[in-house]
Amino acid sequence: MSENVEPTQNQSPGEPDERGATYAAAGVDIEAGDRAVELFAPLAKRATRPEVRGGLGGFAGLFALGNYDKPLLAASSDGVGTKLAVAQAMDKHDTIGRDLVAMCVDDLVVCGAEPLFLQDYIAIGKVVPEHVASIVAGIAAGCEEAGCALLGGETAEHPGVMEPGEYDVSATAVGVVEEAKVLGPDRVRPGDAVIAMASSGLHSNGYSLARHVLLDTAGLPLDGYVRDFDRTLGEELLEPTRIYAKTCLDLANECDVHTFAHITGGGLAANLARVIPEGMQAELQRSTWSPAPIFRTIQRTGRVPQEEMEKTFNMGVGMVAVVAEDDAERAMAMLTARHVEAWKLGEVHATEDGQTGAYLTGEYRRA
């Protein structure tokens, strides 16, 4: 319903309607919200697990934890960031949900936690049921891919605060891991292999810089075909974030994985440094891979320094596994069998001066 309310016959513009104010007149359409729920409810029901109790529509979602010896709950909250601006400009809303799920569940698996369920929050200027259903369809599909349940969520209409076509999304995912199986820096040893898993593109980080370079400064059209991408710029920018959760859990169950690192904002070296213990460093070789065309396009178009690129974007590495050296080949074979491009990125070594972290050496391989 429009925010503009026609005055009654004897009412002057700006005067209160003698019938009284309504929520709909203020911009909140409850009926549209109910219609959105009707549209996405079947989709959400598919993203479930046997531990879910009850159904949609309650005040809280219920989940049976199951049988564990010493379970530790893990939780991660995140959003999608300014990638949303691209989705809104293209009026394409069915991929953003996958990004949202990936940004949450792929943080959980870093410590070895299995994602159990996710709850989403959608703030929107005006509820268009089909748009909300499209967003939730992507969230549900992402949950199915990650093996977690979409336990519930909230859609809030914010007229006057957000424009009608504007929305933002966030979510919290909860997982569980046995205390004895927690992965992390304390397991990392000198000589461990650092294995890279390829990203699907920019994922959901660095879009403020990407949009500034490609759209605001260069003025490239989102619907323009780009030969290097073999699709439009908009399609490339909306490529969903890869969900690694199941792959990482399978890898940890079958190989001697010591920790993972989810490569998000801050780039490869900074995120890997978060799981490297004191007195060790991870040396990473740029020569082991060639960044995808989208990264080269941004750097070339905006004359972005390499240092800035590497601290803003994932540069083609979305997840890293730190694995015992004698299990590295097996781990890479497993990833290849699961259709995840993987390669040995470097290794961990002890430092005599007490320095800690990760660093890149050499030059990128030519495409």
From CA 65, how far away is CA 176, in angstroms rounded? 9
Give the pLDDT score at 8. Answer: 34
Residue with tokens 């499209």: 134
pLDDT per residue over 108-154, tens digit each?
999 999 999 999 999 999 988 888 999 999 999 999 999 999 998 88
Give the HSE-up count for residue 338: Cα atoms under 13 Å, Cβ half-sphere: 19
pLDDT digits (tens, 9 = 90+) for 287-324: 999 999 999 999 999 999 999 999 999 999 999 999 99
CATH architecture of 28-53+70-178: 2-Layer Sandwich (3.30)
pLDDT class of 352 with cuts at 50, 70, 90: confident
Instruction: For 227-261, write each residue's pLDDT tens digit.
Output: 999 999 999 999 999 999 999 999 999 999 999 99
| Alpha helical stretches, state H, the chain | 30-46, 83-90, 96-108, 129-146, 207-211, 233-237, 245-254, 267-273, 293-302, 306-312, 328-337
Contact 98, 85 (CB under 8 A): no
95: which 2 tokens?
Answer: 């991929």
Grade residue 9 by pLDDT with cuts at 50, 70 and 90: very low
Q: Are 242 and 215 in contact (CB under 8 A)?
A: no
**Least confident span in 17-21, 156-160, 302-306:** 17-21
User: What is the rounded average pLDDT of the residues 265-272?
Assistant: 96
Phi, psi of 215 (to 5 degrees): -100, -55
pLDDT of residue 7: 34
Instruction: Give the amino acid at 181.
Output: K
Instruction: Please state, in angstroms and rounded to a whole number, the distance separating the CA atoms of residues 127 and 143.
Output: 23
Q: What is the band of 17 on the pLDDT scale with cuts at 50, 70, 90?
A: low
| Residue 94: half-sphere exposure toward Cβ, Cα within 13 Å | 7
Contacts of 294 (CB under 8 A, 6+ apart): 201, 202, 229, 236, 237
Q: Which CATH architecture has domain 185-361?
A: Alpha-Beta Complex (3.90)
Give the tens place of pLDDT for each residue, 198-216.
999 999 999 999 999 999 9
What are the sequence ranges of the domains in the chain? 28-53+70-178, 185-361
Q: What's the farthest any 2 CA atoms get from each other in the chain?
A: 86
| 28-53+70-178 and 185-361 share one fold | no
* pLDDT(361) > 90: yes
C-alpha span between 229 and 303 (Å, rounded): 19
Q: What is the mean pLDDT of residues 146-167?
A: 91
Looking at every residue in the chain, the average pLDDT score rounds to 89
Q: According to the model, what pLDDT value does residue 10 have? A: 40
Q: The whole model's pTM is what?
A: 0.88
